[in-house]
Amino acid sequence: MRFSALLRKELRECLPWMLLAAIVFLALGGFFLRVEIHYRNPSWYYSRLSPGTIVESSLFTYYSILGIMGPLLLLSSIGLGLVLGIRHFWIPNFTRTWPFLLHRSVSRKTILAAKLTATMIAFVISLGPVWIGLYWYACRPEVFPIPQTPRVFIEGWIFIMLGLVTYLGTALSGLNTAKWYTTKIFGLVFAALVIFTIFPQCSLVWIFTVIAVSAAILLSRIFDTFLRREF
């Protein structure tokens, strides 16, 4: 009951940012997708094919029609992670509301679990349905004849997970009591390193392993810091 009350409170705090991320992603993503569908004409794309010529191999490599939304999804996800991390772990330092939150008769573990659960729910229900909806729309034959590959759908979820890693990095930096120019920034730097490591990867198994290991490292450090730190 206490956990659910805390969870509701955290979700209330997340709500404006969740809505903002979902609206921005839906509006801009939908617009970009419409423009892309309108302008990407396969007949024009292959008009360079002419009899008796060698075809450059680059003509056959093709980004998904949803590719136009990739940077937007990534930015929305990282942005949401940053904002929620700051909202949950940095703002209480400035508003001095940590003691108010911690004096309740719930353990610190429950408080932290409520924050993390609220964030996961926020990511899943703000960006997840929009991504599923846009993917489903792009897969309809009347929109674009070639269905999108399932891999692109999974990659979209990887981008959403990178937002969660950013959140964890921001949370760790927020909880650290060192100076910002020393080890305080390491949480965010670590999250940035994970994002840079993911990008040139080809294997989905490797990508999920990197995300899982880095999330485990950040989570263990967040729990340790939060349970030990004096507020």
Partner 1 sequence: MKLKSNFKYIATPAKVFMTVLIVLVAVSILQGIILEIERTFRLSATIKPKAELTQEEKRLNRIRNSAKEFLPDGTIHLVYNLGYTPTRMGLPAREQIYDVNDDLLWEGPSDKRPFEYLSWAKQLRRYRDGFTREQMKQTQMITTEFSQNVRIPVRSDNKTEQIWRYHPGAKFFKGYNTSGEKIGYAGSTGFTDSKSKVKPFEEFRLFTAWCSQDSSNPTLLWQTQRHIYQIDFEKQQVKLIFENTEADIEIEGTSLHAWRDLKPGEKEYVDRRKYRPLLHCVTEDGKHHLLMRNPGRQLTITIPKAWQGWVNHYHRFTATKQGIFLSRTWTEFRKAPDYLQTREVLDRLLSDYQSKDKQRHVELYRLGTDGSLDLLTGYTWIVPARTGPVVRARDPRSAVQRGVAQFSSPLYDLAVRLLGRKFWLWAYSSRNMGDFFYSLARMIMDIQPYGGVINRILSALMMVFVFLHGWPRRTSWAKFAFWLVFAGLFNLAGLLTYLALNHTAVVKCPVCGRRRGLARFDCVRCRAELPAPERGKLDLILST
Q: Which of 31, 63, 100, 136 binds partner 1 (CB under 8 A)?
A: 63
Tokens of 34: 């419409």
State the CB neighbour count (10 A cutoff) for residue 40: 14
Please name the amino acid found at residue 38. Answer: H
Please name the amino acid found at residue 178. Answer: A
Where in 125-154 is the site for partner 1 (CB under 8 A)? 140-142, 144-147, 149, 151-152
Q: Does position 182 bind partner 1 by CB under 8 A?
A: yes
Q: How far is the CB of 221 from partner 1 (least distance, A)?
A: 5
On whether the CB atoms of residues 90 and 174 are closer than 8 A, the answer is yes
Return all residues near 190 (Cβ < 8 A) that are at least 6 apart.
169, 172, 214, 217, 218
Where in 71-110 is the site for partner 1 (CB under 8 A)? 71, 74, 109
Q: Which of 1, 38, 61, 181 binds partner 1 (CB under 8 A)?
A: 61
Phi, psi of 88 (to 5 degrees): -80, -35
Of 22 and 156, which CB lies nearer to partner 1 in the complex structure?
156
Q: Does position 186 bind partner 1 by CB under 8 A?
A: yes
Number of residues that bind partner 1 (CB under 8 A): 64
Tokens of 150: 């399932």
What does the alpha-carbon distance between residue 115 and residue 183 come to, in Å, rounded to a whole number? 23
Q: How far is the CB of 155 from partner 1 (least distance, A)?
A: 5
Contact region for partner 1 (CB under 8 A) — 10-18, 22-30, 45-53, 98-106?
45-53
Q: Does position 230 bind partner 1 by CB under 8 A?
A: no
Residue with the two structure tokens 């956990």: 3
Q: Which of 1, 179, 200, 205 binds partner 1 (CB under 8 A)?
A: 200
Give the CA distances from residue 210 to residues 62, 165, 197, 199, in Å, rounded to whole numbers and listed in that order: 27, 11, 8, 11
Return all residues near 152 (Cβ < 8 A) that are at least 6 apart.
64, 66, 67, 135
Q: Does position 39 bind partner 1 by CB under 8 A?
A: no
Q: Does position 15 bind partner 1 by CB under 8 A?
A: no
Q: Which of 1, 38, 49, 205 binds partner 1 (CB under 8 A)?
A: 49
Residue 141 C-alpha from the chain's centroid: 29
Binding site for partner 1 (CB under 8 A): 42-43, 45-47, 49-58, 60-64, 66-68, 70-71, 74, 109, 140-142, 144-147, 149, 151-152, 155-156, 158, 182-183, 186, 189-190, 193, 197-203, 207, 216-218, 220-221, 223-225, 227-228
